[in-house]
Amino acid sequence: MDLSVFVPPALSAELSILLIVVSAVTSAIAGAFGIGGGVAMLAVMAAIVPIHALIPLHGVVQVGSNAGRATLLARSARWQMLTTFVVGSLLGIAVGVLLVSDLPAAALKSIIAIFVLWTTWARLPTFGGKARIAIFSGGAFSSLLTMFVGATGPFVIALFRQAGLIKEPLVATHAVAMFVQHGMKIVAFGVIGFAYGEWLWLLAAMLAAGFLGTWVGTRALRRMPEAAFRTALKWILTVIGIQLLVTAIWPL
């Protein structure tokens, strides 16, 4: 059997295998903590995948990773909160399609980084009676950002964390939200002309590996004490926030 049909023209077989393995590992990280996997996956793909294909392909991989996590934790998701988030996301994606080539990625990365670090370390009140407005606005803003920077998971999980969600409800709600958001994004890129066809076999393998990683990570989440989860999430978000800020400022 000719295995070359599974390798996109732009990549070697070795790099394709590397992406499949990384998909499993990063999905396990996201399954355990709800965050971190998407940013790590984006960083690896940025060094391997042609730049014009980076954001749409990363979106497909994240749809698969979040779909697995959302399925395994569906009972813990906060669906009313998600409805508000999705409505906001529709608005953000629509605006993003119109502006996709006009906004500087460095500025958007900086915004995400500052928000993540601020909500992770500052003592902030919960949203209270303004929760729906905050979730709607966060859905719109993060969906706009995802058209440019790809991995807005840290922003979204910080948003839901500030809304009062903890451990399994937090990871489950975040997974469904990101599944919908990335799904909208890949449709939007298809509408504006990105061709997914030559990447299909590699994407299928990455999605299968990602589901396996998600299953492993979700089992770890269920066994993890709440205090350990909170501490690990706080430091993961901190590292991600600093990394985003550094990559935004470095080119300048």
CA 46 to chain centre: 15
Q: What's the pLDDT at 230?
A: 74
pLDDT, position 218: 84
Torsion of CA 109, 111, 112, 116, to 10 degrees: 140
- CA 218 from centroid of its chain's CA atoms: 16
Query: Quick one: pLDDT at residue 86?
Result: 93
Residue 171's SS3 state is: helix
Residue ranges of the chain with per-residue pLDDT less than 50? 1
Output the pLDDT for position 245: 82
- Give the separation between CA 116 and CA 29, rounded to whole angstroms: 18
Residue 150, phi then psi, degrees to nearest 5 = 80, -65
pLDDT averaged over the chain? 82
**Which domain covers residue 22, as residue numbers?**
3-249
Give the span between the Cα atoms of 199 and 205, in whole angstroms. 10
Q: What's the confidence (pLDDT) of residue 152?
A: 80
Q: 104 in the Ramachandran plot: left (φ > 0), alpha (ψ -120 to 50) or beta?
A: beta
Quickly list DSSP for 7-76.
S-TTS-HHHHHHHHHHHHHHHHHHHHHSSSHHHHHHHHHHHHS-HHHHHHHHHHHHHHHHHHHHHHTGGG
Number of domains in the chain: 1
